[in-house]
Chain A
Amino acid sequence: MLTALIALGVLAIVIGVVLGYSAIRFHVDSDPIVDQIDALLPQTQCGQCTYAGCRPYAEAIAAGEADINQCPPGGETTIQALADLLGVDAKPLNPEHGEHKDRTVVEIDEQVCIGCTLCIQACPVDAILGAPKQMHTIIKDECTGCNLCIPPCPVECIHIVPVATTLRNWSWPLPPEAGTETARYG
């Protein structure tokens, strides 16, 4: 009886030490699941999910605080990818957070801009170039279309424009499906 207790006690201590050591020695700084979730998010940093950016939202999902259907820019594709990653059922986008739209960017009407720098402070990806009392402009290639710069603008000179389809981002459409109206008469 005593031998068994001692043996189990020693075993428990040894295992405890090993586990404790490995917990420190092999400590992973960031939770990899957060990185994986973050990699699936569109990185618009728009905050429509009610979090301060894509990473905080990823952290919230990982912590089980947020649902996977709060990202309007990502839409169904992102929800499906998140569902696959986390092994949960996909669900429709929560309309409280907005609806999925085609990608857009913003444009500054440079004639109207007064150079107040408020939009520069609002842009989460530093895609606006300008200085106090100097004209501002959007670096279109870097704009994520989060529209966070629009509310602070005192002169309403920032407009949403759709991303134009060019030869470089055009995709072949799917052919008409078998048995559909277009296939039969198109």
Chain B
Amino acid sequence: MAELQRKALPVIDPEFTQRYHFHGGLKLPGCREAASGRPIQPAGLPSQLVLPLAQHIGEPAECLVSPGDYVCRGQRIAQAVGSISAPVHASTSGTVLTVEPRPVPHPSGLPAPCIIIATDGKDSPAPDMPPALDYLNTDTDTLLERIRTAGIVGLGGAGFPTRAKLARRDAIELLVINGVECEPCIACDDSLQRERAHEVIEGVRILRHIVQPAACLIAVEDNMPEAEQALRAALAARNETGIRVVNVPTIYPTGGERQLIKVLTDREVPSQGFPADIGIIVQNVGTAAAVYHAVVKSQPLLSRIVTVTGDGVQTACNMDVLIGTPVSHLIAAAGGYTDQIERLLIGGPMMGYAVNTDAVPVIKTTNCVLAVTARSMPAPPPAQACIRCGKCTEVCPADLLPQQLYWYARSGNHDAAQDYGLFDCIECGCCAHVCPSHIQLVQYYRHAKTTIWEQEKQKQKADIARMRHEARLVRLERIKQEREEKLARKKQALSGKSAGDEARQAAIQAALERVRQKKEQAATPPRNTDNLTPEQLRQIEAADRRRRDRATPPQDTD
């Protein structure tokens, strides 16, 4: 069946000459230039690092350190729990101050458990770092284990543990390295490819070695000529012909995994499915570079490139940032806020969310910090009623019916929303962007999604509660039965006592009988009484008389 489906898929053109179009999408004004004009600058060492235990999709990591511990750069300070999880490492050396809930980059604004490290500026490396690996002569399992222990997650934004994403490697036709920026304004992947193309290429080679795909390509946007050139130069320097660099039209959201696959191959990832279902794996360029560092440099994921931009910050730039660095430190390194700063967003202008404090740290998935003024990004005007114009449907890159989803999400009809493909929505924000009534459509979908997940969790909890309750009833019943059985046995034993008495009585009787017989025998005259003198006979008679006189009832004997 899977084979049949695979056959029905469009054939991948080995030359990748043609580009296809996904449904909808938007041509947005670019603002990447603001940040990508300058070289990547180091953000420097903050006085404190804030490392949340949950920086990825899946189970939060489990803390391994306690306040007062000295930690070295690259030391594992929290371990993964289960397969969809990732460990956390100390980005530099220092002392663990506390482990407590702190504000984290999350739309809820809620605090979450974080490890706080006071940095000491020595940056002393951990002594027990694993050895560098020659990936060509290393088996796949060792490489995958290295990727897992290095805490690498998808750096494109979703933060899915990379090891888990590489789990399905059977019959992969195409490995796509996603160098397309997620959103306008973000330039972290662009600058990485421009300036560290060799790291990207080496990482891609390792990934290719692991996945063994039929074809491998790096996709960049057609407005990133420098990145494309740098990648091509790095490939040429290595005489690497197995990796191809292709450019794709700059239409938002081509950086989305499903949209990129459609553009490159005309294939569509099935609803609720994964790219591996259609023989494709997509990895971000930043992830590839992190894989290179983990395998060749034995360095876990300790830093990433973050775009700091927006007209609320003095100098827009791309920075190499240690994971856990507070956003306030980045802003200071970028020259501080401008006077009109209005809001701080984590992520880009389309999908980013506002945070209410710049104390939140940069985590593994933070690709952009956007400080905006009321002029460049005014607060959304009040929503009007939906006029059913259908513009949202035209731009939806997932080919959904946003308007229908809106009605169902708003009225709490979650079943219908799911029937209309709620979970295929990638929350790109195209529909809300074009809505003439300024309805915050995406937030309705997010509300519906999170509510459904929560209800699902409650249902699972209810199922467990039912199981436990039923198990308890069974146990109580069993205990009751056991008690009854015990009681019955006791009763039986009690009624059996009379039978035992009879046996004892019989034994007593038998003993008495024996005694009586003995007595009788004793009553018979002794044999040595022949030929006695009269004097002796008189003595015997006197003794017998005395004995008879003193004789006691036989029942007292024994």
Contacts and interface: CB of A to CB of B under 8 A. Distances in A.
B388 to A, nearest CB: 13
Contact of A125 (B451, B458, B468): B468
Interface string A156-167: 000000000111
Contacts of A44: 465
Interface stretch (B100-108, B123-131, B186-194, B313-321): B100-108
B185 interface: no
A126 B451 CA distance: 28
Contacts of B462: 41-43
Nearest to A182: B382
A171 interface: yes
B236 to A, nearest CB: 46
A172 B107 contact: yes
Nearest to A44: B465
A76 to B, nearest CB: 10
A177 B383 contact: yes
A167 B449 CA distance: 14
Given A167-B54, A174-B447, A125 B465 contact: yes
Given A178-B382, A183-B383, A173 B465 contact: no
Main SS at interface, chain B: helix
Contact of B439 (A126, A170, A172, A178): A178
A28 to B, nearest CB: 19
Nearest to B353: A172
Contacts of B463: 43
Indicate the size class of the contact surface on chain A.
Answer: 20 to 34
B532 interface: no
18 contacts: A41-B462, A55-B466, A125-B465, A125-B468, A125-B472, A126-B468, A127-B468, A144-B461, A167-B106, A167-B112, A169-B457, A172-B447, A172-B449, A172-B451, A173-B447, A175-B383, A175-B439, A178-B439
A184 interface: yes
A142 interface: yes
Interface residues of B, number: 38
A132 interface: no
Given A43-B465, A174-B444, A166 B110 contact: yes
Contacts of A125: 465, 468-469, 472
B437 interface: yes
Contact of B437 (A172, A173, A178): A178
A178 B384 contact: yes
Nearest to B107: A172
B472 A126 contact: yes
